[in-house]
Amino acid sequence: MIKGKFPIDKFEAIETPFYYYDIDLLRETLRAIRQQTENKNYLVHYALKANANPRILKEISSFGFGADCVSGNEILRAIECGFPASKIAFAGVGKTDKEIEIGIDHDIFCFNVESLPELDAIDHIASAKNKKVRVALRINPNVDPHTHEYITTGLNENKFGLNEKDLSEAVEKISRSLHLELIGIHFHIGSQITDLSAFENLCVKALEMQSWFNSRGIGLQIINLGGGLGINYQHPNHCPIADFESYFHLFAKYLKLKEGQSLHFELGRSVVAPCGSLITRTTYVKEGISKKFLIVDAGMTDLIRPALYHAFHHIENISSELPYTRYDVVGPICESSDTFGKNVELNESSRGDFIAIRSAGAYGEAMASQYNCRTLPASCFSDQI
């Protein structure tokens, strides 16, 4: 079994658990995305919800990408870290008046509108400020992404987006408004999508929706296809970078842009997940009746995905070269769901061994909590330790 390469000697001085980011891999990933999108009318908006660590954001913004934000504070963080407001899209079903004002005051690129009442709120606030605001309508395409139900977002009966029956009323509201400008349509069908046929179906629906708008004399400047591209959680050492070539090639093949149009994407997980690992240490090895428990000092407070929806993360003992044995890898939190993996094959482990929980660069640090009054882990970067 191939294991990742980690500077274990330098880890000795760092209190565990902590997030470790491979900056070289992040930059390699960003170069791969840029290679597939340069010289095309494509714009990638990095989804801050995946990881909003300032150092990570500054690396991403330095490559010229935009930002996809789902809160007012994410907009402020993105701007602080070098993303131009002209490349910030603001999504989310529950934008508050304060957050809408932040977007308007900073003249962001676009609001991705998810309901008719939201459209009214943006219009009202823009009118009070005497500003004109660019909007894209987020449409539920009813495309099944074949992923976990908790991260499926584009089916008809969903809190996200507008259903097709609402489009005529939305267009009418915008046409009557002096303060709203419709520039495009937006989709997002889910996350951790590895079956690319789901994106083919999305392209068909996007073209169908474009025809609907064109038949009403409405030209669309942008089509935003959201994100959702998955990564290989099972084999992070063999497949450290997502298949961006196939992903972008699919859209080039199935979705031909009209003159002057641009295609927008909102990638998050596939950008940052592979470069991050949660580094923890073995606190105890507990002998059960029929299994062994490897108890580590990281918990669901530091990486909630396994507890939240039984997500898989590759786990390695990076301190040991002893023969392999099987463990349930668990944390110290007083919840039975505080488990990183069951029946995990690891090199025989002892108290104090470093354990790397891989592909934690997305939705690890970003979703960390202080439940049980725990201290939030530090973040460490490969080029700074």
Q: What pLDDT, in 10s, does the model give residues 2-40?
A: 889 999 999 999 999 999 999 999 999 999 999 999 999
pLDDT-derived band at 142 (thresholds 50, 70, 90) equals confident
DSSP 376: P
Round to whole Å and give the CA distance between 293 and 284: 8
**In the predicted model, is pLDDT for residue 152 greater than 70?**
no
Of 244, 271, 298, the domain-final residue: 271
In the block, which residue shows the tokens 């059960």? 288
Asked if 328 and 267 sit in the same domain, the reply is no
Please provide the average confidence, as pLDDT, over all residues in the chain. Answer: 95
Q: pLDDT at residue 197 above 60?
A: yes
Query: Would you say 117 and 104 are in contact if contact means Cβ atoms under 8 Å apart?
Result: no
Check: CB of residue 163 under 8 Å from CB of residue 106: no
| In a domain? residue 364 | yes
Structural domain count of the chain: 2
Going from the C-alpha of 187 to that of each of 42, 74, 121, 277, the distances in angstroms are 15, 20, 21, 30
* Same domain assignment for residues 111 and 196: yes
Whether residue 3 is contained in a domain is answered as no
Contacts of 139 (CB under 8 A, 6+ apart): 161, 162, 163, 164, 167, 185, 186, 187, 209
**Does one domain contain both 256 and 282?**
no
Quote helix, strand, coil % in the chain, to nearest 5.
30, 25, 45
Q: What is the pLDDT of residue 151?
A: 41
Nearest to 1 by CA among 324, 276, 231, 319: 324
145 pLDDT band, cuts 50/70/90, is: low
Residue 325 above 80 pLDDT? Answer: yes
Same domain, 108 and 33: yes
What CATH number is given to the structural domain containing 164? 3.20.20.10
Q: What is the mean pLDDT of residues 92-102?
A: 97
Which of 220, 236, 271 is the C-terminal boundary of a domain?
A: 271
User: How many whole angstroms separate alpha carbon 201 and alpha carbon 144?
Assistant: 9
Residue type, 98: K
Question: What's the token pair of residue 41?
Answer: 């009318």
Packing angle, helices 244-254 and 23-37, rounded to 10: 20
**Residue for token pair 């005497």:** 130
> What pLDDT does 147 receive?
52
Residue 2 within any structural domain of the chain: no
Between CA 116 and CA 129 the distance in angstroms is 20
**Higher per-residue confidence, 256 vs 179:** 179
Q: 311 and 246 in one domain?
A: no
pLDDT band per the 50, 70, 90 thresholds, residue 160: confident
Residue 1 located in a structural domain = no
Is 340 inside a domain boundary? yes
Closest CA to 52 of 38, 34, 72: 72
| E-state strands within 81-165 | 88-90, 110-113, 133-138
Residue 351 and residue 242 in one domain: no
Q: Please check whether residues 257 and 314 belong to one and the same domain.
A: no
Q: If phi over 0 gives left and psi between -120 and 50 gives alpha, with beta otherwise, what is residue 232?
A: beta
- Measuring CA to CA, how many Å separate 340 from each of 30, 50, 67, 319? 28, 19, 30, 18
DSSP 131: -
Please check whether residues 12 and 52 belong to one and the same domain: no
Task: Specify the pTM.
Answer: 0.94
Mean pLDDT across the stretch 249-270? Answer: 96
Range of the domain at 325: 8-18+275-381
What is the residue whose two structure tokens read 């989310």?
Answer: 92
How far is CA 21 from each of CA 3, 103, 109, 143, 159, rounded to the nearest angstrom?
16, 30, 30, 34, 33
- At residue 90, the pLDDT reads 98
Q: Are residues 168 and 296 in the same domain?
A: no
